[in-house]
Amino acid sequence: MPWRETSVEAERSEFVRVASSGVLPMREVCRRFGVSPTTGYLWVSRSDGLEGLRDRPRTPHTSPGRTPRAMEERICDVRRAHPRWGGRKIHHVLRNAGIADVPPPSTCSSVLRRHGLIAPPERAQHAWQRFEHAAPNQLWQMDFKGHIAAGAGRCHPLTILDDHSRFNVCLAACADERGETARAQLIAAYRRYGMPEAMLMDNGAPWGSDAQHPHTHLTAWMMRHGIRIAHGAPYHPQTQGKEERFHRTLKAEVLTARPRWHSCDELQRAFDAWRPIYNYGRPHEGIGMAVPGDRYVPSTRSYQETLPPIDYAPGDLVRKVQDHGRISVRGRTYRVGRAFVGEPVGLRPTAQDGIWEVYYCAQRITRIDLREPLP
């Protein structure tokens, strides 16, 4: 029989009277009132009037294990400076700063909740299977984060992330999403950090076309520099999960900081101020709470200002791509993509009779079937 919330003291008083009468054994009284024998004996021992039967505060008289006030202030100061950082990040930031006796992440989170700086539901909602390349510059991920209102126009943030370290190599407030705009930012990134082995992008402009011939002039230019191009699966943004996660962080820590942005220049100044924090000061859960800058080193593949020549193996069948992105082979025409118009491509036979693979520089771009009947 659960005790009624509206008359707790009255129920306890009645329990004490019944138990003290001696009519029933204590355990039977406890069973009837729905309390444990331990609680029953406790209330009998306190039966020195109504005051003794009221709930007593459970707060200890002393708290020798409580986080010192100065440490709590440090934790709260970091949170106020970075309102999206939780207990785990703050713990590692303070520890990396050489501060002694930093409490564990769970205690840091408790301090934030106690000061009203964090809500209990603020935690990851999904557990994603993570994959990362073994070393820096093996793969960069690149994407435009959707446009942002900036004054009378729009701004298109271009972001490039190293897959292994999560290091941000480019964060540019662009006025558009044209291929030439992206190329200018890529050149700046390549000059500073060198070139990656491969780049991963989605299927949208300016680096994607159709599913059968996905390449553009921009991706062809990257191939000329010896960079392998990969496109994410259509309608599967999780292929570029690290870029998607970076965009959420960028939005939470920068883009929503102001109700309105007035220009791309203003956004770029905000990006330039935040980027060092992200790369060198903000612990990243995906890399064991290290900061991206601790895991990143520039590429040894320097950017070549002049495009290297295109060479194919002696056994390759070389064809020049004509208008409309087509090549002629043995009296037949095959489409290989408009991105390669005017450029030489190399054809290599496969183990399957009549099936040839078409290469541009070192990358296979499509395959053709020479067994198809003449039109």
pLDDT at 83 over 80: no
**How far is 104 from 91, CA to CA, in rounded Å?**
7
Residues 29 and 88: their CA atoms lie apart, in Å, by: 49
Mean pLDDT over 64-79 rounds to: 79
Q: What is the pLDDT of residues 314-355, one digit of tens each?
A: 989 999 999 889 999 988 899 999 999 999 999 999 988 889
Q: How many Å apart are CA 339 and CA 325, to the nearest integer?
A: 7
Amino acid at 304: Q
pLDDT of residue 63: 59
The whole-number pLDDT of residue 303 equals 93
Question: Which three-class secondary structure state does DSSP give residue 337?
Answer: coil
Query: Regarding the domain delimited by 317-369, which CATH topology (the fold level of the hierarchy) does it fall under?
Result: OB fold (Dihydrolipoamide Acetyltransferase, E2P) (2.40.50)
Least confident of 14-23, 44-53, 255-264, 308-317: 44-53
- Give the predicted TM-score (pTM) of the model: 0.67
Question: How far is 99 from 347, CA to CA, in rounded Å?
Answer: 62
Sign of CA dihedral 115, 118, 119, 120: negative
The average confidence (pLDDT) of the chain is 83
Answer for the pair 299, 329: CB distance below 8 angstroms, yes or no: no
CA pair distance 229, 179, nearest whole angstrom:
15
Residue 208, pLDDT score: 79
Question: Residue 217's pLDDT is what?
Answer: 93
pLDDT tens string 292-322: 989 999 999 999 999 989 999 998 999 999 9
Exposure string of 70-89, with b = 16+ CB inside 10 Å and e = fewer, is: ebbebbbebbeebeebbbbb
Report DSSP letters for 93-151, one per residue. HHHHTT-TTPPPHHHHHHHHHHTTSS-TT-S----PPP---SSTTS-EEEEE---EEET
Q: Of 1-15, 215-229, 269-283, 347-361, give the lowest mean pLDDT range.
A: 1-15
pLDDT (mean) for 6-24: 72
- Angle separating helix axes 217-224 and 179-193, nearest 10 degrees: 20
Residue 5, classified by CB atoms within 10 Å of its CB into exposed (0-12), middle (13-18) or buried (19+), is exposed
Predicted local distance difference test score (pLDDT) of residue 105: 81
Residue 188, φ and ψ in degrees, nearest 5:
-60, -40
What's residue 318's pLDDT?
95
CA atoms within a 13 Å half-sphere pointing along the CA-CB vector of 333: 9
pLDDT score, position 76: 85
pLDDT over threshold 60, residue 118: yes
25 prior amide bond cis, ω within 30: no
Question: How confident is the model at residue 125, as a pLDDT?
Answer: 40
Taking domain 140-295, whether its CATH number is 3.30.420.10 is answered by yes
Per-residue pLDDT band for 58 (boundaries 50, 70, 90) equals low
Inter-axis angle of helices 26-33 and 8-21, to 10 degrees? 160
The torsion angles phi and psi of 322, rounded to 5 degrees, stand at: -95, -175
Confidence label for 4 from pLDDT (cuts 50, 70 and 90):
very low
Label the pairing between strands 332-335 and 355-360. Answer: unpaired
pLDDT interval class at 151 (50, 70, 90)? confident
Using an 8 Å Cβ cutoff, are 53 and 46 in contact? Answer: yes
Q: Which pLDDT score is estimated for 5?
A: 45
Confidence (pLDDT) at 132: 73
pLDDT computed for residue 49 by the predictor: 52
- Please state, in angstroms and rounded to a whole number, the distance separating the CA atoms of residues 351 and 244: 39
Kindly tell me if the per-residue pLDDT of 357 is higher than 90.
yes
Cα three-residue angle 189-191-197, rounded to 5 degrees = 70
Q: How far apart are CA 140 and CA 229, in angstroms?
A: 10
